[in-house]
Amino acid sequence: MKLNLNYKDMSVLSYIHRRELPSVPGIYYEDYEMANYPNLSKLTSYSNDRIYLLVSRFVPYEEDQSDCPGYNYVVYGATSKVFINPYIILNNRPGFDEFRRSYLKLGFTNCERSPFAKELLRLGEFNLL
């Protein structure tokens, strides 16, 4: 599976180059439904909230200029693992709300400072460099 992420800042590119990264979208139940995600019954209890899932381990392999408005760079990558069965729902995990407010909006910048970062690495079985 190929994925791409858009970034505004070049400094992010040097940090993420060739590392496994967590892909954690925060979207609504209807969006998962429109994308035909399997096992949606596991997500219905969150149907009124933004649902945060650990979807995959994203492995960047190429960067380029972005043509997406508001972003300067695009990073292309593949997945080394996709978490669908079972889903890894992050919403109610201890420490996630603080992690979400502090780091998801900033693109994981300095997220190693968060105690939840260790939990995210454990959940995703990430290989550390």
Q: How far apart are CA 30 and CA 19, in angstroms?
A: 31
Q: Which of 96 and 8 is assigned the larger pLDDT?
A: 96
What pLDDT is attached to residue 1? 45
Q: What mean pLDDT comes out for the span 80-90? A: 76
- Reported as a single tens digit per residue, the pLDDT across 8-43 is 555 555 556 556 777 788 889 998 888 888 878 888
Lowest mean pLDDT segment, chosen from 83-92, 105-114, 119-128: 105-114
Q: Which of 52, 54, 63, 2 is nearest to 26 (CA)?
A: 52
Q: Which of 105, 113, 123, 110 is nearest to 15 (CA)?
A: 110
What pLDDT is attached to residue 21? 73
Residue 104 near residue 80, CB atoms below 8 Å: no
What pLDDT is attached to residue 103? 76
